[in-house]
Chains A and B, each alone.
Chain A
Amino acid sequence: MTRRPGKGRRQIALKDRLAPVLISLVSVVVVFGLIAWFVGTAPQWPRIQLQFFSIDAMLEAAPGVAKGFLVSLQIWLISLVAIGIWALILAIFRAMGGPWFAPLRVFAILYVDLFRGLPALLLVLLFGFGIPALNLPGLPKEGLFWGGIALVLSYSAYATEVYRSGIEAVHEGQSMAAKALGLSQWQTLRYAILPQALRNVVPAMLNLVVALQKDVALLSVLGVRDAVREAQIYTARTFNYSSLVVAAILFLLATIPLARLTDHLQRKDRQRRLQGAL
């Protein structure tokens, strides 16, 4: 006699939940299966397999590529710190109000226009080969150093704009409130605007972090033996490209966790803010 609405709903829910999972599973298998079959039927496939996916060659190339990957990681981490700081300084220049700070604002605008407009590779070549060729006493000559500088200068231009978008996304009321409390311009920026702005830009910044990790490979034109260059060395020696696949795997191992971390941070931040709102 008693109605049990719960049971019926649960059954429907289960069916509703299962069907889409099954459909996605089947469609994934069919689509990727078809692609794999199509690639496998290519007459050149056995040769491609031998030259790109040879396990023996991968194992042989792995130590060298891994050594290069450590070099990539070092350059990446050091540049990240430098970019984070330099871009923040530029963004603060840009955010400074008042006529006295006009030169700083102009500098920041010109800087971004210049370095965002030039290909990173061009900067790496200009700095890495150009400055040592000047033979100026007292300046370092390493390609690694000047290439790193070029990357920092280039990526800072993008990062500045990301910071700026974060700063501008903070509601105007925040700075007005800070002003009403008697905070100076610097204090407003330091205690009211930047803490909110930085939190806003984390996902966009992590995008740049991942992009930079891959662009470290540009320094190889200056003789730096990063993961990609070590892989090329192996390829040149044996004409076998499996070493490049090893490098690709290493890059993915580093960037995929980073992407998940970005998602996680974003979700946590959203939850926290929603709780505050409720």
Chain B
Amino acid sequence: MANKHNVLTLAMLALTAMLVVPALAQEKTPNDPRLFTPGKLTVSTSEPSYPPWVLDNNPEAGEGFEAALVYALAAELGFKKEDVVWVDVTFDGAIAPGPKAYDFSIQQISVTPDRAKVATFSDVYYQSDKAVIALPASTVASAKTFADLKAAKWGVAVGTTDFDYVTNVLGIADAAVYDDQAGVFQALQGGQIDATIAALPTALYATCCQVPEAKITALLPKDPKDEGLGLLFAYENPIVSWINEGLAGIKAKGTVDELVRKYLVADPNIPVIAE
């Protein structure tokens, strides 16, 4: 009788162990139950997304800095290439409170202390210089100081730290603020604004392919309040620490630097305006 009881207890224990231990053991593996879909890494980016961050608006191809970074990160964390699932989300959707239908969003979102109060970011994966974009005929093209820059009419896209840069670092109070970068470039071409700024890689693509008549006229120093680009998670998402380990891993292997060299290089001959 007692024997039978022991057997039953043992069986129960074994069953519990089978159910519980693997669940714990699965944390920080591709089957981590805390993932949006265990077994998959669900990543959101904007639609459309632009080079050099994502080439051809097709993140699945893994070409472009952010797309390649996500696949490198996924491999580091143990996911297979086909286990990375992409979903579209706008910037507004990514920053809205509430649970998210993905693990994290990657769309050149800058980490700032204010934002970090209500959203959870990964470690920074890239910090970019800011570049001034203007038409060659404009006075901005020959600007040497911040004071020269201040005289121009500026436009930026809402939701970017470009706005903060123009307002706080350059001290421009009346910059026009557009829905997106496309609106800014439209206004630049129409002569409604003289200049805009953007992260250097965005500026490189814009001046080569979106607004070829414009050019990068200067580089500006980094804004100390802008910590760089990070992955954006739903507030207090517990997988951040694991993702950060992965990011640290690919940084240590030199993968991130390699991707920067591949996708985000700048012409070293652009003048710098520092004051």
CB within 8 Å of B: which residues of A? 44, 47-48, 50-52, 129, 132-133, 135, 141-143, 220-225, 229, 232-233, 235-241
Contact = CB atoms under 8 A, between A and B. Distances in A.
Give the dominant DSSP class at A's interface.
helix
B82 interface: no
B178 A233 contact: no
19 contacts: A44-B97, A47-B118, A48-B98, A129-B187, A133-B189, A222-B178, A222-B187, A223-B184, A223-B192, A224-B176, A229-B177, A233-B177, A235-B95, A236-B91, A236-B158, A237-B164, A238-B114, A238-B117, A241-B97
Nearest to B174: A225
A243 B115 CA distance: 14
B183 A221 contact: yes
Interface residues of B, number: 33
Which one of B99, B164, B177, B191 has the highest number of Cβ atoms from chain A below 10 Å of its Cβ? B177
Contacts of A132: 187, 190-192
User: 3 nearest interchain CB pairs?
Assistant: A223-B176, A132-B190, A236-B159
Which one of B112, B119, B184, B192 has the highest number of Cβ atoms from chain A below 10 Å of its Cβ? B192
Contacts of B98: 44, 47-48
Interface string B142-182: 00000000000001001110011000000000101111000
Nearest to B235: A47
A133 B186 CA distance: 8
Nearest to A129: B186
Contacts of A135: 190-191
A141 B186 CA distance: 12
Contact of B187 (A48, A220, A223): A223
A236 B178 CA distance: 13
B118 A233 contact: no
A220 B180 CA distance: 11
A52 B155 CA distance: 28
B198 interface: no
Contacts of A235: 95
A52 B118 CA distance: 11
B118 A240 contact: yes
B187 A143 contact: yes
A129 B176 contact: no
Contacts of A143: 176, 187, 192
Contacts of A47: 97-98, 118, 235
Given A221-B178, A223-B193, A232-B159, 9 more contacts: A44-B98, A133-B189, A133-B190, A141-B190, A223-B187, A229-B158, A235-B95, A236-B159, A241-B96
Contacts of B174: 225
Nearest to A132: B190
A225 B178 contact: no
B191 A51 contact: no
Given A221-B179, A229-B158, A232-B159, A239 B192 contact: no
B232 to A, nearest CB: 9
A143 B188 CA distance: 12
A141 B191 contact: yes
B97 A223 contact: no
A91 B178 CA distance: 36
B158 to A, nearest CB: 5
B193 A129 contact: no
A44 B100 CA distance: 12
A169 B164 CA distance: 55
B159 A44 contact: no
A223 B163 contact: no
B84 to A, nearest CB: 26
Nearest to A52: B97
Nearest to B117: A238
A132 B192 CA distance: 7
A142 B192 contact: yes
